[in-house]
Amino acid sequence: MLAGAGWLGHCIANKLSSYGEKVTVVHMSMEERFVQYMNADIAHRLGDTSDEAVCRLALKEVQPDVVINVHPDPNLIKQNYQIFAGHVLHYLHCSSAGVYVPTGKIPVSEDAPTYAIEKFGGAFIAKKHSDEQAMALHNQKYFPVTIIRPGVILGKGMIPLELWGLRNPAFFRQIRDGKVVQVSEQTDVAISATYVEDVAEIFAQAVLQPDKSRGQIFNAISWNATHEGYLTAIGEALGVKPRVEYVPTKTIIDSHISDPAFSLPDYEFFMANLAVSGQKAINVLKVQTESFVKILRGSLDSL
């Protein structure tokens, strides 16, 4: 696994380890936050995964059958192909369902068009380009690629996304404590959320079933709703009925624009429709997903 010691990466590593796979994670430091939560049988190699020499040495000494790139960089896809082609049986990388935005209200499947929209920031443009390069290498060079596209990822160990487009615990505390929260009056915007353990399970099943997953894209989606439905689920997870003031979207922006954590591109993305189907992974890889309220309860434990 390349860059597999973060929140999502350590969940994928632990899931594969739990299935009996021998996992080595290449990452920068043993001081990274989630290293302490990784299974004891997972091996670690320290180094910068953008460094060709680091990856070539890991290939030589670990001799992996499978490589998972948790944070693919479009500038490094060709380099990774040159390193791993002919040496590994399977190369998986993590993208994002955000490449489909704006989707409209009806959940889209893996064959939907993807977009590179500058106002949503560079992250989704980079993921789109990474996906295109990787699938081109599969189609033209028979590189054994699988791409996983999660929705908004939620789960234990990370504050959930809230309706200000951030991961701000103050939003959830206000609801929990019975205080009024302001949210945009555009409550019918679609959102597709994903439990972090469901993403890990889809990666694991793709590894365990290579004949079904090579050359494929799988959306990793646990739950679809509107922002209003998301707000209701938050209330259920916290055991309260949210007290809400609905205001124009511009009011939300004006209220948070001075917050260093607030990103206007991220908020504009959040206010676009993200409606994505995860049915292909359910049908092909036979994965099951958790209930959304259960996911939120786990996410909100840290409050």
Three-state DSSP class for residue 21: coil
Let me know: does 300 contact 160? Beta carbons within 8 Å.
yes
Let me know: does 212 contact 296? Beta carbons within 8 Å.
no
Three-state DSSP class for residue 241: coil
Instruction: In whole angstroms, give the CA distance from residue 38 to residue 131.
Output: 28
pLDDT tens per residue, range 62-119: 999 999 999 999 999 999 999 999 999 999 999 999 999 999 999 999 999 999 899 9
How high is the pLDDT of residue 141? 96
Q: What is the domain extent for residue 148?
A: 7-154+193-222+276-289
- Residue at 235 is within a domain: no
How high is the pLDDT of residue 302? 66
DSSP assignment letter at 156: T
Three-state DSSP class for residue 89: coil
- Residue at 72 is within a domain: yes
91, containing H or E segment: strand 90-94
Side chain identity at residue 21, one-letter code? E
Instruction: In whole angstroms, give the CA distance from residue 227 to residue 151.
Output: 14
Three-state DSSP class for residue 255: helix
Instruction: Please tell me the total count of domains within the chain.
Output: 1
| Residue (of 234, 233, 264) closest to 249 by Cα position | 264
Q: Calculate Rg over the CA atoms of the chain.
A: 20
- Residue at 257 is within a domain: no
pLDDT tier at 298, thresholds 50, 70, 90:
confident
| Residue (of 219, 244, 237) closest to 114 by Cα position | 219
- Residue at 104 is within a domain: yes
Instruction: In whole angstroms, give the CA distance from residue 302 to residue 94.
Output: 26
pLDDT tens per residue, range 3-54: 999 999 999 999 999 999 999 999 999 999 999 999 999 999 999 999 999 9
Q: What does pTM read for this prediction?
A: 0.96
233, containing H or E segment: helix 227-238
- Residue at 111 is within a domain: yes
Q: Which residue has the tokens 């991961």?
A: 167
Instruction: Give the CATH number, domain containing residue 197.
Output: 3.40.50.720
User: For residue 102, is the peptide bond before it cis, meaning its omega torsion is within 30 degrees of 0?
Assistant: yes
Let me know: does 3 contact 71? Beta carbons within 8 Å.
yes
- Residue at 121 is within a domain: yes
Instruction: In whole angstroms, give the CA distance from residue 184 to residue 188.
Output: 10
How high is the pLDDT of residue 261? 87
Side chain identity at residue 267, one-letter code? Y
- Residue at 160 is within a domain: no
Count of all residues that appear for the chain in the document? 303
In terms of pLDDT, which residue wins out, 294 or 178? 178
Three-state DSSP class for residue 158: strand
